[in-house]
Chains A and B, each alone.
Chain A
Amino acid sequence: MSAMTIRQHYVSRALIARFSNSPELKNGLVGQFDVVNGRCMRAVSPRSIGFESYFIKYDGDRMEELWGTVERPMGEVFNALRDDPSDLLQAKQSHIKDFMALHFARSLEAQRIHIETLLKPRRELGPIRRCRPGLPG
């Protein structure tokens, strides 16, 4: 896997950037709240949040290419949202729905369901013999 795809966003960076204090510039900052520990965190760059290293570690380069085909057309959609040309958005609705499908599938919830499904037989049959990396023991 290339160094580029080690950091894999489960929320598109371009989407997070829309919630920055400067969506049109690359140096915008996004506010964030840690819902696990219940604390507000300092605002940061969109590139430094919403990702995990090796989120999809197998075939990661190809998956990033696939996500790119969905994310790239969204640039025009984000511009249209800012300028409000409804006709253009209507023409781009398939891109918006694909972008929704991407975030439904490439998600922390999908990861949780996958891990739960994987561990269920072990939980029902007895203790896990050894803890594997990436799986909660």
Chain B
Amino acid sequence: MAESPSILREMADVVLDPIYALEDHGSPFQKWVEEVFQRTREHLANYSLSLRPAPDGSEFLLGDCPAVGIAPGMNPRRRPPLFDAKALILPLSPGVAAMAYPSDRGEPEYSVDDADDGVVLAINHGQIAQSHKRVFFRPDSGHSATVRNYLGI
């Protein structure tokens, strides 16, 4: 029994090495991304869409992982799975963010719903939290301070 871990490791080598070889080739990631895209696209086709214009004097920034999902009790730094998400949010410009959400009444709805300063700040914090490397913003927006404040630096 003491040898079990090493036997398992040998088995893992036999099983996993071909998978890692494929990974070097890049095909598993490509297939997975394409599948996630097609499934997400089909899923969102039945979602309602709300465009959220920012008020004057307030604007959105853009994280490098900008399609941010939100779910109750989520870890703010980790995007929840699509099926758990209550909404998916993507800023389309400094002035407007798009929010897709499950339709309650069957047919997807379309609306334009003004975002107040609090909503803009919450969306911006979500963008920063789920960024992996960089956050982008209009140079004169003052959003360097927004990022610093959120990160506590």
Cβ of A32 and Cβ of B136 under 8 Å apart? yes
- Which of B29, B112, B138 interacts with A19 by CB under 8 Å? B138
Q: How many residues of A contact B (CB 8 A)?
A: 68
Q: How many residues of B contact A (CB 8 A)?
A: 69
Which residues of the other chain, B, contact A6 by a CB distance below 8 angstroms?
none
Interface string of A81-114 (1 = CB under 8 A from B): 1100010011001101111111111111111101
Which residues of the other chain, B, contact A125 by a CB distance below 8 angstroms?
5, 8-9, 12
Interface string of B23-37 (1 = CB under 8 A from A): 111111110111011
B45 within 8 A of A: yes
* CA–CA, A61 and B123, complex, Å: 33
Cβ of A81 and Cβ of B92 under 8 Å apart? yes
How many A-B residue pairs lie within 8 Å, measured between CB atoms?
195
Cβ of A35 and Cβ of B136 under 8 Å apart? no
Cβ of B90 and Cβ of A103 under 8 Å apart? yes
Cβ of A105 and Cβ of B36 under 8 Å apart? yes
Which residue of chain B is the closest to A30 with respect to CB atoms?
A: B136
Cβ of B49 and Cβ of A78 under 8 Å apart? no
**Residues of B42-95 contacting chain A, CB below 8 A:** 43-45, 47, 49, 51, 61-62, 64-67, 69, 78-79, 82, 88, 90, 92-95
Which residues of the other chain, B, contact A66 by a CB distance below 8 angstroms?
34, 37
Knowing A32-B134, A56-B33, A118-B19, the reply to whether A19 touches B88 (Cβ < 8 A) is: no
Cβ of B12 and Cβ of A121 under 8 Å apart? yes
Knowing A49-B134, A108-B65, the reply to whether A59 touches B30 (Cβ < 8 A) is: yes
Q: Within the complex, what minimum Cβ distance (angstroms) separates A98 from chain B?
A: 6
A residues in contact (CB < 8 Å) with B: 10-11, 15-16, 18-21, 23, 29-36, 38, 40-41, 43, 49-50, 54, 56-60, 63, 66, 77-78, 81-82, 86, 89-90, 93-94, 96-112, 114, 118, 121-122, 125-126, 129, 132-135
Top 5 A-B pairs ranked by shortest CB distance? A58-B26, A105-B37, A57-B26, A103-B67, A101-B40
B residues in contact (CB < 8 Å) with A: 5, 8-9, 12-13, 16, 19-20, 23-30, 32-34, 36-37, 40-41, 43-45, 47, 49, 51, 61-62, 64-67, 69, 78-79, 82, 88, 90, 92-96, 98, 100, 110, 112, 128, 130-141, 143-144, 147-148, 151, 153
